[in-house]
């Protein structure tokens, strides 16, 4: 995941102070090449307060988290960013129980989200695994 590459914990904490900061960041990544409505293909839109985009023609609204590993989270986006940061920067493994305690979410939710993060990391070009693991 190129999301947090090269950032210290202090830089990360300063950059992502609220869920809205996280949504803004996701929107900038998601639509960096421009917006195109997923329903009708139109390119003109309105930006909402939560950085979602609403098509000017058909009215379809798409959030920055739609179609990402952050879609339909059962906890705050900022917590999810912190979990991703910790998973991508720690040298030791993290258990779902540790994450659940640390971020005050259920163990099952932590496990499910961590699986999604691992899948994203596995498919990411910036985290290719070499040799035997």
Which tens digit of pLDDT belongs to each residue from 104-114? 999 999 999 99
Asked if residue 5 is part of any domain, the answer here is no
Is residue 79 within 8 A of residue 105, CB to CB? The reply is yes
pLDDT value for 117: 93
- Tell me: the pLDDT tens digits for 49-91? 999 999 999 999 999 999 999 999 999 999 999 999 999 888 7
pLDDT value for 2: 54
**How many folded domains does the chain comprise?**
2
Asked if residue 4 is part of any domain, the answer here is no
Is residue 112 within 8 A of residue 58, CB to CB? The reply is no
What is the residue range of 116's domain?
A: 69-123
Residues 79 and 115 in one domain: yes
- Tell me: the pLDDT tens digits for 20-41? 999 999 999 999 999 999 999 9
Residues 74 and 111 in one domain: yes
User: 26, 77, 35, 81: which is closest to 56 by C-alpha?
Assistant: 35
Residue 133 has pLDDT above 50, yes or no: no
Rounded CA separation 108/130 (Å): 30
């Amino acid at each position: 995941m190129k999301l947090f590459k090269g950032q210290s914990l202090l830089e990360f904490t300063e950059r992502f102070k609220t869920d809205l900061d996280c949504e803004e960041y996701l929107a900038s990544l998601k639509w960096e090449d421009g917006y195109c409505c997923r329903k009708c293909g139109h390119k003109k839109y309105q930006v909402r307060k939560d950085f979602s985009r609403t098509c000017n023609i058909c009215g379809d609204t798409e959030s920055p988290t739609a179609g990402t590993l952050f879609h339909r989270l059962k906890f705050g986006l900022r917590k999810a960013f912190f979990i991703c940061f910790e998973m991508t920067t720690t040298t030791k493994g993290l258990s779902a129980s540790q994450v659940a305690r640390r971020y005050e979410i259920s163990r099952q939710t932590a496990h499910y989200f961590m699986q999604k993060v691992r899948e994203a990391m596995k498919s990411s070009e910036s985290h290719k695994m070499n040799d035997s693991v």
